[in-house]
Structure 1
Amino acid sequence: MQNKLYPFMQNHFDGLVLRSSLFYSSKYGLRFEISIPGVDHLNKRNLKQMKDRTTCLFDHVFYDSDEILLITDVHTMKLDRFLEKRPTKVYQKYIRSKDTRYKLIYELFNFEEEDEDMVTHRFILPCQKHVIRYQQLLMAISYEDFPHPTQLLKGSQHAGIDIYFVNVTRKMIFHLYDDRGCDIIAFDKEDLRSLYREFNDWILDYDRVQIDNMMNNQ
Protein backbone atom coordinates (compact mmCIF):
# COMPACT_ATOMS: atom_id res chain seq x y z
CA MET A 1 0.00 0.00 0.00
CA GLN A 2 1.26 3.45 -0.92
CA ASN A 3 2.49 5.53 2.00
CA LYS A 4 0.96 9.00 1.62
CA LEU A 5 2.58 10.54 4.69
CA TYR A 6 5.90 11.72 3.27
CA PRO A 7 4.61 13.27 0.02
CA PHE A 8 1.91 14.95 2.12
CA MET A 9 4.46 16.41 4.55
CA GLN A 10 6.74 17.50 1.72
CA ASN A 11 3.98 19.20 -0.26
CA HIS A 12 2.16 20.92 2.60
CA PHE A 13 4.58 21.25 5.52
CA ASP A 14 7.93 21.82 3.79
CA GLY A 15 9.10 18.33 4.63
CA LEU A 16 8.55 18.75 8.37
CA VAL A 17 9.51 15.61 10.30
CA LEU A 18 6.85 14.41 12.73
CA ARG A 19 8.47 14.82 16.13
CA SER A 20 7.38 15.95 19.57
CA SER A 21 6.84 19.70 20.06
CA LEU A 22 5.32 20.15 16.62
CA PHE A 23 4.19 23.63 17.65
CA TYR A 24 7.78 24.87 17.80
CA SER A 25 8.72 23.30 14.46
CA SER A 26 5.82 24.56 12.34
CA LYS A 27 4.96 27.88 10.77
CA TYR A 28 1.31 27.86 11.80
CA GLY A 29 0.27 26.15 15.02
CA LEU A 30 -1.64 26.36 18.27
CA ARG A 31 -0.81 24.83 21.65
CA PHE A 32 -3.65 24.12 24.07
CA GLU A 33 -3.59 23.33 27.78
CA ILE A 34 -5.45 20.10 28.54
CA SER A 35 -5.22 19.21 32.23
CA ILE A 36 -5.60 21.54 35.21
CA PRO A 37 -2.16 22.64 36.46
CA GLY A 38 -1.38 21.59 40.00
CA VAL A 39 -4.42 19.32 40.32
CA ASP A 40 -4.08 15.58 40.92
CA HIS A 41 -4.29 13.64 37.67
CA LEU A 42 -7.15 11.44 38.90
CA ASN A 43 -9.19 14.32 40.28
CA LYS A 44 -12.70 14.01 38.78
CA ARG A 45 -12.75 17.64 37.71
CA ASN A 46 -9.39 17.19 36.01
CA LEU A 47 -10.46 14.02 34.20
CA LYS A 48 -13.62 15.73 32.97
CA GLN A 49 -11.63 18.68 31.66
CA MET A 50 -9.19 16.39 29.85
CA LYS A 51 -12.02 14.47 28.20
CA ASP A 52 -13.99 17.59 27.28
CA ARG A 53 -11.05 19.49 25.84
CA THR A 54 -9.49 16.65 23.87
CA THR A 55 -12.86 15.65 22.40
CA CYS A 56 -13.88 19.21 21.50
CA LEU A 57 -10.57 19.94 19.81
CA PHE A 58 -10.55 16.64 17.92
CA ASP A 59 -14.13 17.10 16.69
CA HIS A 60 -13.22 20.58 15.50
CA VAL A 61 -10.22 19.38 13.50
CA PHE A 62 -11.67 16.17 12.02
CA TYR A 63 -14.90 15.82 10.05
CA ASP A 64 -16.57 12.47 9.39
CA SER A 65 -15.58 12.35 5.72
CA ASP A 66 -11.94 13.41 6.18
CA GLU A 67 -9.09 11.14 5.16
CA ILE A 68 -6.92 10.51 8.22
CA LEU A 69 -3.53 8.95 8.85
CA LEU A 70 -3.32 7.58 12.40
CA ILE A 71 0.39 7.41 13.19
CA THR A 72 1.96 5.72 16.20
CA ASP A 73 5.68 6.14 16.88
CA VAL A 74 7.21 3.83 19.46
CA HIS A 75 10.72 4.87 20.52
CA THR A 76 12.79 2.11 22.06
CA MET A 77 16.17 0.43 22.18
CA LYS A 78 17.37 -1.29 19.03
CA LEU A 79 17.77 -4.57 20.91
CA ASP A 80 14.18 -4.51 22.20
CA ARG A 81 12.49 -6.87 19.70
CA PHE A 82 9.13 -7.00 21.47
CA LEU A 83 7.53 -4.01 19.76
CA GLU A 84 9.02 -4.87 16.37
CA LYS A 85 6.93 -8.01 16.09
CA ARG A 86 3.44 -6.60 16.55
CA PRO A 87 1.59 -3.26 16.53
CA THR A 88 0.79 -1.57 19.79
CA LYS A 89 -2.60 -1.71 21.44
CA VAL A 90 -3.56 1.45 19.58
CA TYR A 91 -4.79 -0.46 16.53
CA GLN A 92 -5.99 -3.59 18.27
CA LYS A 93 -8.10 -1.77 20.82
CA TYR A 94 -9.04 1.58 19.31
CA ILE A 95 -9.81 0.74 15.68
CA ARG A 96 -13.28 -0.73 15.24
CA SER A 97 -12.77 -2.33 11.83
CA LYS A 98 -10.56 -5.37 11.35
CA ASP A 99 -10.58 -4.72 7.59
CA THR A 100 -9.17 -1.26 8.23
CA ARG A 101 -6.39 -2.69 10.41
CA TYR A 102 -5.18 -4.75 7.45
CA LYS A 103 -4.09 -1.46 5.84
CA LEU A 104 -1.49 -0.84 8.55
CA ILE A 105 1.95 0.21 7.30
CA TYR A 106 5.09 -0.44 9.36
CA GLU A 107 8.45 1.32 9.21
CA LEU A 108 11.64 1.23 11.27
CA PHE A 109 14.10 4.11 11.44
CA ASN A 110 16.48 6.04 13.68
CA PHE A 111 15.36 9.48 14.81
CA GLU A 112 18.25 10.03 17.21
CA GLU A 113 21.34 10.31 15.06
CA GLU A 114 23.49 10.87 18.14
CA ASP A 115 22.19 7.65 19.73
CA GLU A 116 22.56 4.69 17.40
CA ASP A 117 21.00 2.35 19.96
CA MET A 118 17.59 4.06 19.76
CA VAL A 119 15.08 3.28 17.01
CA THR A 120 11.52 4.28 16.21
CA HIS A 121 8.86 1.78 15.17
CA ARG A 122 6.31 3.71 13.11
CA PHE A 123 2.81 2.41 12.36
CA ILE A 124 0.67 4.30 9.83
CA LEU A 125 -3.01 3.56 9.30
CA PRO A 126 -5.14 5.28 6.62
CA CYS A 127 -8.67 5.54 8.02
CA GLN A 128 -11.63 7.79 8.78
CA LYS A 129 -12.91 9.21 12.01
CA HIS A 130 -15.80 6.77 12.43
CA VAL A 131 -13.51 3.74 12.80
CA ILE A 132 -11.43 5.31 15.60
CA ARG A 133 -12.56 5.06 19.20
CA TYR A 134 -10.96 8.45 19.55
CA GLN A 135 -12.43 9.56 22.87
CA GLN A 136 -11.04 6.46 24.57
CA LEU A 137 -7.72 6.72 22.71
CA LEU A 138 -7.25 10.37 23.65
CA MET A 139 -7.84 9.54 27.30
CA ALA A 140 -5.40 6.63 27.06
CA ILE A 141 -2.75 9.03 25.75
CA SER A 142 -3.51 11.32 28.68
CA TYR A 143 -2.98 8.42 31.09
CA GLU A 144 0.29 7.23 29.56
CA ASP A 145 2.57 8.75 32.20
CA PHE A 146 0.52 7.34 35.08
CA PRO A 147 -0.11 3.78 36.35
CA HIS A 148 -3.39 2.87 34.65
CA PRO A 149 -4.85 -0.15 32.80
CA THR A 150 -5.03 1.86 29.56
CA GLN A 151 -1.27 2.47 29.34
CA LEU A 152 -0.38 1.87 25.70
CA LEU A 153 3.12 0.61 26.43
CA LYS A 154 2.36 -1.30 29.58
CA GLY A 155 5.18 -3.74 30.22
CA SER A 156 7.65 -1.75 28.10
CA GLN A 157 9.11 0.66 30.62
CA HIS A 158 12.06 1.69 28.46
CA ALA A 159 9.95 2.77 25.48
CA GLY A 160 8.22 6.03 24.65
CA ILE A 161 5.26 6.72 22.40
CA ASP A 162 3.88 9.55 20.26
CA ILE A 163 0.57 9.43 18.42
CA TYR A 164 -0.27 11.81 15.57
CA PHE A 165 -3.59 12.26 13.81
CA VAL A 166 -2.94 13.66 10.33
CA ASN A 167 -5.91 15.17 8.51
CA VAL A 168 -4.96 14.67 4.87
CA THR A 169 -8.16 16.34 3.64
CA ARG A 170 -7.90 19.55 5.67
CA LYS A 171 -4.08 19.57 5.86
CA MET A 172 -3.94 19.72 9.65
CA ILE A 173 -2.10 17.65 12.27
CA PHE A 174 -3.25 16.93 15.83
CA HIS A 175 -0.75 15.80 18.46
CA LEU A 176 -1.83 15.26 22.06
CA TYR A 177 1.66 14.96 23.48
CA ASP A 178 0.52 14.03 27.00
CA ASP A 179 -2.07 15.03 29.60
CA ARG A 180 -0.65 18.55 29.78
CA GLY A 181 -1.12 19.79 26.25
CA CYS A 182 -2.05 19.39 22.60
CA ASP A 183 -0.43 20.81 19.45
CA ILE A 184 -2.50 21.50 16.33
CA ILE A 185 -0.71 22.70 13.20
CA ALA A 186 -2.04 23.57 9.76
CA PHE A 187 -0.87 24.25 6.23
CA ASP A 188 -3.08 27.37 6.09
CA LYS A 189 -3.20 29.72 9.07
CA GLU A 190 -6.86 30.48 8.39
CA ASP A 191 -7.77 26.87 9.14
CA LEU A 192 -6.70 27.58 12.72
CA ARG A 193 -8.79 30.76 13.01
CA SER A 194 -11.96 29.19 14.40
CA LEU A 195 -9.96 27.11 16.89
CA TYR A 196 -8.10 30.22 17.99
CA ARG A 197 -11.33 32.14 18.54
CA GLU A 198 -13.56 29.45 20.01
CA PHE A 199 -11.01 27.91 22.37
CA ASN A 200 -8.86 30.94 23.11
CA ASP A 201 -9.14 30.46 26.87
CA TRP A 202 -7.51 27.03 26.50
CA ILE A 203 -4.35 28.32 24.81
CA LEU A 204 -1.28 27.60 26.88
CA ASP A 205 -0.29 30.89 28.53
CA TYR A 206 3.43 30.13 28.12
CA ASP A 207 3.03 30.30 24.32
CA ARG A 208 0.19 32.82 24.11
CA VAL A 209 2.27 35.81 22.95
CA GLN A 210 3.83 33.78 20.13
CA ILE A 211 0.43 32.43 19.09
CA ASP A 212 -1.27 35.83 19.20
CA ASN A 213 1.49 37.32 17.05
CA MET A 214 1.25 34.49 14.54
CA MET A 215 -2.53 34.70 14.23
CA ASN A 216 -2.78 38.49 14.12
CA ASN A 217 0.13 39.37 11.83
CA GLN A 218 -0.17 39.35 8.07
Structure 2
Amino acid sequence: MKDDLSHFLHEHFNSLKLEPPLFYSSQYGIRFEIAIPWMEHEDNRNLRQIEKRSTGIFNQVFQAGDDMLLITDFHCKKNDQFLQKRPAKVYQKYIKNKKLRLSLQHKIIPNAFSEEEMVTHRFILPCKKNDIRYEALLAAISYEDFRHPTNILKGFPRNGIDIYFINTTRKMIYHLYDDRGCDVIASRKEDLLPLYHDFNEWILDYDREEIDGVFSR
Protein backbone atom coordinates (compact mmCIF):
# COMPACT_ATOMS: atom_id res chain seq x y z
CA MET A 1 0.00 0.00 0.00
CA LYS A 2 2.86 2.36 0.73
CA ASP A 3 4.13 1.83 -2.81
CA ASP A 4 0.61 2.39 -4.18
CA LEU A 5 0.32 5.65 -2.26
CA SER A 6 3.80 6.76 -3.30
CA HIS A 7 2.99 5.94 -6.92
CA PHE A 8 -0.28 7.88 -6.72
CA LEU A 9 1.44 10.95 -5.25
CA HIS A 10 4.29 10.70 -7.75
CA GLU A 11 1.99 10.38 -10.76
CA HIS A 12 -0.64 12.97 -9.84
CA PHE A 13 1.01 15.32 -7.31
CA ASN A 14 4.63 15.56 -8.44
CA SER A 15 5.84 13.29 -5.60
CA LEU A 16 4.16 15.43 -2.95
CA LYS A 17 5.17 14.55 0.61
CA LEU A 18 1.95 13.87 2.48
CA GLU A 19 2.29 16.22 5.43
CA PRO A 20 0.82 19.55 6.52
CA PRO A 21 0.41 22.18 5.31
CA LEU A 22 -0.75 20.69 1.99
CA PHE A 23 -1.88 24.04 0.61
CA TYR A 24 1.65 25.41 0.51
CA SER A 25 3.06 22.24 -1.06
CA SER A 26 0.69 21.86 -3.99
CA GLN A 27 0.31 23.70 -7.28
CA TYR A 28 -3.47 23.68 -7.04
CA GLY A 29 -5.09 24.07 -3.65
CA ILE A 30 -7.60 26.02 -1.59
CA ARG A 31 -7.42 26.79 2.11
CA PHE A 32 -10.78 27.24 3.83
CA GLU A 33 -11.60 28.83 7.17
CA ILE A 34 -13.78 26.42 9.15
CA ALA A 35 -14.42 27.79 12.65
CA ILE A 36 -15.45 31.30 13.68
CA PRO A 37 -12.04 32.62 14.80
CA TRP A 38 -13.19 34.91 17.61
CA MET A 39 -15.71 32.52 19.14
CA GLU A 40 -15.37 29.81 21.81
CA HIS A 41 -15.15 26.37 20.20
CA GLU A 42 -18.23 24.94 21.95
CA ASP A 43 -20.49 27.88 21.20
CA ASN A 44 -23.43 26.42 19.28
CA ARG A 45 -23.02 28.93 16.46
CA ASN A 46 -19.42 27.89 16.03
CA LEU A 47 -20.21 24.16 16.12
CA ARG A 48 -22.91 24.63 13.49
CA GLN A 49 -20.47 26.47 11.23
CA ILE A 50 -17.77 23.83 11.69
CA GLU A 51 -20.22 21.07 10.77
CA LYS A 52 -21.67 22.97 7.82
CA ARG A 53 -18.33 23.88 6.30
CA SER A 54 -16.34 20.70 6.98
CA THR A 55 -19.09 18.38 5.71
CA GLY A 56 -20.16 20.70 2.89
CA ILE A 57 -16.65 20.75 1.42
CA PHE A 58 -16.24 17.01 2.03
CA ASN A 59 -19.47 16.17 0.19
CA GLN A 60 -18.32 18.20 -2.81
CA VAL A 61 -14.92 16.49 -2.93
CA PHE A 62 -16.22 12.93 -2.53
CA GLN A 63 -19.02 11.20 -4.42
CA ALA A 64 -20.54 7.87 -3.38
CA GLY A 65 -18.77 5.78 -6.03
CA ASP A 66 -15.30 7.34 -5.71
CA ASP A 67 -12.40 5.19 -4.57
CA MET A 68 -10.77 6.59 -1.43
CA LEU A 69 -7.90 6.13 0.95
CA LEU A 70 -8.48 7.03 4.59
CA ILE A 71 -5.04 7.76 6.02
CA THR A 72 -4.19 8.35 9.67
CA ASP A 73 -0.69 9.53 10.59
CA PHE A 74 0.24 9.31 14.26
CA HIS A 75 3.44 11.03 15.37
CA CYS A 76 5.00 9.56 18.50
CA LYS A 77 8.31 8.55 20.06
CA LYS A 78 10.05 5.53 18.59
CA ASN A 79 9.66 3.49 21.77
CA ASP A 80 5.92 4.11 22.28
CA GLN A 81 4.69 0.57 21.63
CA PHE A 82 1.26 1.31 23.08
CA LEU A 83 0.63 4.68 21.51
CA GLN A 84 1.64 3.59 18.03
CA LYS A 85 -1.51 1.43 17.79
CA ARG A 86 -3.92 4.06 18.99
CA PRO A 87 -4.92 5.53 15.57
CA ALA A 88 -6.38 2.13 14.66
CA LYS A 89 -9.26 3.19 16.89
CA VAL A 90 -10.20 5.63 14.13
CA TYR A 91 -11.09 2.66 11.97
CA GLN A 92 -12.82 0.72 14.72
CA LYS A 93 -15.09 3.62 15.52
CA TYR A 94 -15.67 5.32 12.19
CA ILE A 95 -15.60 2.47 9.62
CA LYS A 96 -18.97 0.74 9.44
CA ASN A 97 -17.93 -2.61 7.98
CA LYS A 98 -15.79 -4.78 10.29
CA LYS A 99 -14.60 -6.94 7.37
CA LEU A 100 -13.35 -3.87 5.53
CA ARG A 101 -11.09 -3.08 8.48
CA LEU A 102 -9.13 -6.25 7.71
CA SER A 103 -7.65 -4.37 4.74
CA LEU A 104 -6.05 -1.81 7.06
CA GLN A 105 -2.35 -1.31 6.33
CA HIS A 106 0.23 -0.06 8.82
CA LYS A 107 3.63 1.37 7.96
CA ILE A 108 6.29 3.19 9.94
CA ILE A 109 7.79 6.15 8.12
CA PRO A 110 10.23 8.93 9.10
CA ASN A 111 8.57 11.59 11.17
CA ALA A 112 6.94 14.28 9.07
CA PHE A 113 8.52 17.02 11.19
CA SER A 114 12.07 15.59 11.02
CA GLU A 115 12.44 14.97 14.73
CA GLU A 116 14.99 12.19 15.18
CA GLU A 117 13.42 10.70 18.32
CA MET A 118 9.99 10.59 16.66
CA VAL A 119 8.41 8.33 14.05
CA THR A 120 5.14 8.45 12.15
CA HIS A 121 2.85 5.44 12.15
CA ARG A 122 0.76 5.53 8.98
CA PHE A 123 -2.50 3.62 8.76
CA ILE A 124 -4.10 3.31 5.31
CA LEU A 125 -7.54 1.93 4.43
CA PRO A 126 -8.98 1.72 0.89
CA CYS A 127 -12.69 2.47 1.13
CA LYS A 128 -15.68 4.37 -0.21
CA LYS A 129 -17.37 7.45 1.18
CA ASN A 130 -20.34 5.49 2.50
CA ASP A 131 -18.02 3.16 4.44
CA ILE A 132 -17.07 6.04 6.74
CA ARG A 133 -19.05 7.74 9.48
CA TYR A 134 -17.44 10.84 8.11
CA GLU A 135 -19.62 13.47 9.76
CA ALA A 136 -18.75 12.09 13.19
CA LEU A 137 -15.08 11.71 12.26
CA LEU A 138 -14.84 15.29 10.99
CA ALA A 139 -16.44 16.49 14.22
CA ALA A 140 -13.89 14.48 16.23
CA ILE A 141 -11.01 16.01 14.25
CA SER A 142 -12.34 19.50 14.98
CA TYR A 143 -12.39 18.70 18.70
CA GLU A 144 -8.87 17.26 18.85
CA ASP A 145 -7.33 20.33 20.48
CA PHE A 146 -10.03 20.48 23.16
CA ARG A 147 -11.15 18.26 26.03
CA HIS A 148 -13.95 16.13 24.60
CA PRO A 149 -15.05 12.45 24.67
CA THR A 150 -14.36 12.10 20.94
CA ASN A 151 -10.65 12.93 21.25
CA ILE A 152 -8.68 10.38 19.24
CA LEU A 153 -5.53 11.00 21.28
CA LYS A 154 -7.36 11.44 24.56
CA GLY A 155 -4.84 11.49 27.39
CA PHE A 156 -1.82 11.95 25.11
CA PRO A 157 -1.77 15.69 24.29
CA ARG A 158 1.95 15.78 23.42
CA ASN A 159 1.51 13.45 20.48
CA GLY A 160 0.20 14.50 17.10
CA ILE A 161 -2.21 13.14 14.55
CA ASP A 162 -3.14 13.97 10.95
CA ILE A 163 -6.02 12.39 9.05
CA TYR A 164 -6.16 12.62 5.26
CA PHE A 165 -9.00 11.68 2.92
CA ILE A 166 -7.68 10.93 -0.57
CA ASN A 167 -9.98 10.67 -3.57
CA THR A 168 -8.02 8.41 -5.89
CA THR A 169 -10.76 8.59 -8.53
CA ARG A 170 -10.84 12.37 -8.83
CA LYS A 171 -7.20 12.90 -7.71
CA MET A 172 -8.04 15.18 -4.79
CA ILE A 173 -6.91 15.31 -1.15
CA TYR A 174 -8.92 16.69 1.77
CA HIS A 175 -7.19 17.56 5.03
CA LEU A 176 -9.14 19.08 7.92
CA TYR A 177 -6.07 19.99 9.96
CA ASP A 178 -8.05 21.13 13.03
CA ASP A 179 -11.14 23.19 13.86
CA ARG A 180 -9.59 26.28 12.28
CA GLY A 181 -9.15 25.22 8.70
CA CYS A 182 -9.16 22.73 5.86
CA ASP A 183 -6.91 22.26 2.83
CA VAL A 184 -8.16 20.73 -0.41
CA ILE A 185 -5.68 20.08 -3.19
CA ALA A 186 -6.10 18.52 -6.62
CA SER A 187 -3.92 17.41 -9.49
CA ARG A 188 -5.93 19.57 -11.91
CA LYS A 189 -7.07 23.15 -11.46
CA GLU A 190 -10.42 22.38 -13.10
CA ASP A 191 -11.41 19.97 -10.34
CA LEU A 192 -11.17 22.72 -7.72
CA LEU A 193 -13.13 25.36 -9.61
CA PRO A 194 -16.54 24.22 -8.26
CA LEU A 195 -15.19 24.51 -4.71
CA TYR A 196 -13.70 27.90 -5.46
CA HIS A 197 -17.01 29.26 -6.77
CA ASP A 198 -19.48 27.50 -4.45
CA PHE A 199 -17.58 28.13 -1.21
CA ASN A 200 -15.77 31.32 -2.10
CA GLU A 201 -16.89 33.12 1.06
CA TRP A 202 -15.25 30.40 3.16
CA ILE A 203 -11.75 30.90 1.73
CA LEU A 204 -9.22 31.93 4.37
CA ASP A 205 -8.58 35.64 3.91
CA TYR A 206 -4.88 35.28 4.71
CA ASP A 207 -4.37 33.21 1.53
CA ARG A 208 -7.18 34.66 -0.57
CA GLU A 209 -4.98 36.80 -2.82
CA GLU A 210 -2.85 33.81 -3.79
CA ILE A 211 -5.91 31.59 -4.32
CA ASP A 212 -7.73 34.23 -6.40
CA GLY A 213 -4.61 34.61 -8.51
CA VAL A 214 -4.83 30.96 -9.51
CA PHE A 215 -8.59 30.41 -9.85
CA SER A 216 -10.10 33.74 -10.90
CA ARG A 217 -8.23 33.83 -14.20
- For the aligned pair, the TM-score class normalised by the smaller chain equals over 0.9
Aligned to 2:42: 42
Aligned to 1:157: 157
Task: Tell me if the contact between 2:32 and 2:181 (Cα under 8 Å) persists in the aligned partners.
Answer: yes
Inter-CA distance 120–163: structure 2 relative to 1 (3 Å threshold)? same
1:176 aligns with 2:176: yes
The one-letter amino acid paired with 1:211 is I
Report deviation, 1:88: 3.1
State the superposition RMSD in angstroms.
1.4
1:70 aligns with 2:70: yes
Report deviation, 1:116: 1.4
Inter-CA distance 190–113: structure 2 relative to 1 (3 Å threshold)? closer
Q: Deviations over 1:120-140 (max 9, x none)?
A: 000000000011000000000
Moved more, 202-211 or 76-85: 76-85
Inter-CA distance 108–47: structure 2 relative to 1 (3 Å threshold)? same
Tell me the TM-score normalized by structure 1. Answer: 0.96
Distance 1:61 1:151 in 2: 25
1:207 aligns with 2:207: yes
Distance 2:66 2:16 in 1: 21
* Unpaired stretches in structure 1, ≥5 consecutive residues: none
Q: How does 1:68-217 map to 2 (within 5 A)?
A: 68-85=68-85, 87-111=87-111, 114-217=114-217
**What SS class does the counterpart of residue 65 from structure 1 fall into?**
coil
Moved more, 204-213 or 106-115: 106-115
Task: Tell me if the contact between 1:35 and 1:50 (Cα under 8 Å) persists in the aligned partners.
Answer: yes
Distance 1:20 1:153 in 2: 18
Aligned to 1:61: 61
Aligned to 1:10: 10
Inter-CA distance 141–213: structure 2 relative to 1 (3 Å threshold)? same
Tell me the TM-score normalized by structure 2. Answer: 0.96
Inter-CA distance 114–193: structure 2 relative to 1 (3 Å threshold)? closer
Report deviation, 1:83: 2.6
Q: Deviations over 1:147-172 (max 9, x none)?
A: 00000011222210000000000000
Report deviation, 1:115: 2.4
How many residue pairs were aligned? 217
Report deviation, 1:2: 7.5
Report deviation, 1:146: 0.1
Task: Tell me if the contact between 2:87 and 2:152 (Cα under 8 Å) persists in the aligned partners.
Answer: no
Aligned to 2:21: 21
Inter-CA distance 86–32: structure 2 relative to 1 (3 Å threshold)? closer
**What SS class does the counterpart of residue 69 from structure 1 fall into?**
strand
Inter-CA distance 149–86: structure 2 relative to 1 (3 Å threshold)? closer
Distance 1:80 1:157 in 2: 14
Task: Tell me if the contact between 1:28 and 1:188 (Cα under 8 Å) persists in the aligned partners.
Answer: yes
**What SS class does the counterpart of residue 72 from structure 1 fall into?**
strand
Task: Tell me if the contact between 2:35 and 2:180 (Cα under 8 Å) persists in the aligned partners.
Answer: yes
Distance 2:86 2:145 in 1: 22
Q: Deviations over 1:163-192 (max 9, x none)?
A: 000000000000000000000000000100
Distance 2:116 2:169 in 1: 36
Distance 1:155 1:192 in 2: 37
